[in-house]
Amino acid sequence: MEIVAAKTLCLGLNLKLISHKHPVVVFTPNLTRKIPSFSHQMRCGTQGFWRRENGRSFTPVAAVVSGVEVSSSRFKDFTVMITSKEEDQELKIRVEVSGAKTRAIFEDVFKKMVTAAQPIPGFRRIPRDILLEVLGPSKVYKEVIKKVINSTVSEYVDKEGLKVIKDLRVEQSFEDLEDVFEPDEKFSFDAVIQLQQTT
């Protein structure tokens, strides 16, 4: 027996389910995120019941757009993709930072903010979620997002040997970045780097 699913929204995939005696695995696209991924896995068990398994996430490796030259650089904890280059003046990039790096930067910034904060009477050791509320999640996330952006872009510029002007422009607003930021999740942003004129 063969079942063919209709095309899914925006991905243009044809999913094909085939009934055999061995287990069948189907990955369903997650369309709620800004970056498409395949995060839910359906597996047909030995009794013929379908069950859902989470824990594996596959994001697209590359996308091809005709007429546009795209290059990417992969670093330990982040990936930088050049989306456009206007002559020798500016470089538009898309940076995707791993969840491990966002967690590490969050821990570092949060720890520094906690040590700089005034002690709260009645607590020897304050629970983490209370500290986050006292400091203000928006304030903490703002500092973390700034550090994520600055550290990744500066590492990219250093490793690529680019000569840049210190002006860095991020395409998204802070509110948009804060809405999608979670310390253990992948985080991506678009930036414009101003290059120095070579004469």
pLDDT at 96: 93
DSSP 26-55: EEEEE-SSSS-EEEEEEEE-TTS-EEEE-S
Task: Concatenate the DSSP letters of all residues of 171-182 into one string.
Answer: SS-HHHHHHH--
Tens place of pLDDT for every residue, the chain, 199 residues? Answer: 444 444 444 444 444 444 444 444 444 454 445 454 444 445 545 444 444 554 444 444 444 444 444 566 677 888 889 888 877 788 899 999 999 999 999 999 988 888 877 777 776 777 778 888 888 888 999 999 999 999 999 999 898 888 888 888 899 998 999 999 988 899 999 999 988 876 6
Angle, in degrees to the nearest 10, between helices 99-116 and 128-135? 70
Taken in order of first residue, the domains within the chain and their CATH numbers are 2-53 (no CATH), 71-195 (3.30.70.1050)
Q: CA 125 to CA 110: how far, in whole Å?
A: 15
Helices (H), the chain: 99-116, 128-135, 137-160, 174-180
